[in-house]
Structure 1
């Protein structure tokens, strides 16, 4: 009969399975081996495990594992996490990123904090309830491609699954419940002008000079949005826009024929991405309307909306009681808004620290393990028994 390894061995095996997702196809991997391993463990514990490949990407999949309830099952709790990691900095780790290492009370390995480390803790918490009658189902959910496209979460929304009343997304929050975060979109603006000999400006149309006007329009729009939208619940209480990189031209003595600017926008809750992107397009087109150039805007990925869960909801209040911390906000984006879109009350709550995420020598502090397991036990008891 198959057995489920202990918590530390689970984490060791999960870390050992590379599941990098990246926008660079040379670095991008699948996560199928990770979800298959989780499914095997959860089926051994009595869960019904469903592996759902992403459309057109059979090497990437979501996992929905359900421990059924004896009651009507119209509610339920989801313990959710993503199985992919970001790429790693080869040569900058003190140890192999795919081998779990314990040093000074810390567990080092790629994904320990963000966020493979959440799954063994969720499984450990679940074991307490295997011989108890559940009033509502308990679901462990594992997704693909959170670090890049959110394709796993988007596929779940399209399928309308899972069906539940509450969800906990185990991203690294340092054992503090998070009830809201900013959204994100990344955009590219490409200007196509006409190259020519720099000795005579009439021979061309400079894309770089037109880009100067585009940047001015972006900074003006940013200032307007920051004047119109504030939320004191965030450390940075306004929406942000970062002009991240720009490329254009090829030689000093040629009029620049094309240029591209890439930037990100992080809106507050209540700022719909579709509306913001529409306003961006209008403003930027207007900024170069008198120039002899063409302007094209495109999204670098389908953005993620901002997230907010009513802090007076039963889920938030229960999490605050179990953790001893008032619910707060974070600036990074998660899969939480996708669960909210399906009508699921959601919080973000996990054992790791965001400062460790995406860094060499990523680690999870061992002192976080038992407190997180206890918090998850309390949530399961509240919403499933």
Structure 2
């Protein structure tokens, strides 16, 4: 097993030093292309064929790097972007990798720039080995915001492979299920007027109260219909997140907007849920004489589930010595499934350190992560007779 800790830290230091925040707020959003170009340079030096897939957004791109030939193979996938940061809350520079007490601190160190140097270490012993199926390294854009990178891959039908590992931080526990997510907005448009005479307007807040009641009724209905004991929270959840409306106690509220999220279980369909919500809103709009508009804050992510008996899941359980589990956070795994791959979420680091100041990756997990990936390469990319030996 090959693992060069100094080389790993050098590469992670370079990746962390490149800001690549993705965010729906334009002032925060940044290109990820410099990260993609650096990864492409490293992989080309190792003999990979690289394809940089430009996205419509300025400075955004995916990377597909391939070693070997074949219609099967193994995808090792990660996202190249990070969440926004508050530098005042960091004890160190978020863009300067800092080592302390066996931990490497830096923005994206665990979520998930730290996965790429692990993969680079893992593939080195196989660079001059005949492969029966290709090793494909994938780096995507905007996972932390719109997932536009993964959506572009599905639209283009690439890459083609049989198995995919999403290297999100799972503390090296194989993850075969996660919930989906929808983030929606409901806007009620009425008419303003003087509060002394309700007939002068149509108050948007009153039908919004009915809208919230309908959403809570929907939540109860969904929780009675869907239950998966494989999740810590075994039912779908619906959270009323924020509401804004009106501008004074003595004016009839003309406009009110509610934002909510819905965390779905495998087997639930986002578009069907949106249709059900619209059906519940229509009678309220008709009775109140207001316009009620449902819109998506982002496109949403489907729930993910891989068969517990799938070959990839069994292989990961054997290599890690851990049973596969579920998580609450969403990943790009459903998009890999749409491309026809058995998929698992598995990587070093903990989600507990992600999306917060002083993010770090535990160095104790790095060499084991390399060994696990090498085991997957041996099983899914080497000739069968090599595995027999």
Q: Which of 62, 72, 84 is the aligned partner of 1:75?
A: 72
- Partner Cα separation in structure 1 for residue 45 and residue 98 of structure 2: 27
- The DSSP-based 3-state class of the residue aligned with 2:316 is helix
- The DSSP-based 3-state class of the residue aligned with 2:220 is helix
- The DSSP-based 3-state class of the residue aligned with 1:302 is coil
Alignment of 1:1-385 (within 5 A): 6-54=7-55, 56-69=56-69, 73-385=70-382
Number of equivalent positions = 377
Contact 2:187/2:255, CA 8 A, preserved across alignment: yes
**Could you list the runs of 5+ residues in structure 2 that have no partner in the other structure?**
1-5, 383-389
CA RMSD in angstroms comes to 0.9
- Partner Cα separation in structure 2 for residue 370 and residue 279 of structure 1: 48
1:125-180 residue CA offsets vs partner (Å, 9 max, x unmatched)? 00011121111000000000001111000000010000000000000111100001
C-alpha displacement of 1:9: 0.4
1:29-54 residue CA offsets vs partner (Å, 9 max, x unmatched)? 01000000000000000000110100
Contact 2:189/2:290, CA 8 A, preserved across alignment: yes
C-alpha displacement of 1:58: 4.0
C-alpha displacement of 1:57: 2.1
Contact 2:20/2:35, CA 8 A, preserved across alignment: yes
Contact 1:241/1:263, CA 8 A, preserved across alignment: yes
Contact 1:218/1:284, CA 8 A, preserved across alignment: no
- The DSSP-based 3-state class of the residue aligned with 2:185 is strand
* Alignment TM-score, normalising by the size of structure 1: 0.97
C-alpha displacement of 1:251: 0.6
- Partner Cα separation in structure 1 for residue 64 and residue 184 of structure 2: 32
Question: Which portions of structure 1, spanning 4 or more consecutive aligned residues, are displaced by more than 6 angstroms?
Answer: none
C-alpha displacement of 1:200: 1.4
* Alignment TM-score, normalising by the size of structure 2: 0.96
- Partner Cα separation in structure 2 for residue 286 and residue 185 of structure 1: 23
1:338-364 residue CA offsets vs partner (Å, 9 max, x unmatched)? 010111100000101111110100000
- The DSSP-based 3-state class of the residue aligned with 2:276 is helix
- Partner Cα separation in structure 1 for residue 220 and residue 258 of structure 2: 19
C-alpha displacement of 1:201: 1.3
C-alpha displacement of 1:68: 1.1
1:71-99 residue CA offsets vs partner (Å, 9 max, x unmatched)? xx121000000000000012000011000
Contact 2:87/2:93, CA 8 A, preserved across alignment: no
1:256-303 residue CA offsets vs partner (Å, 9 max, x unmatched)? 110000001111000011111110111122233310211001011111
1:235-273 residue CA offsets vs partner (Å, 9 max, x unmatched)? 000001111110000011111110000001111000011
Match of 2:386 in 1: none
- Partner Cα separation in structure 2 for residue 167 and residue 247 of structure 1: 42
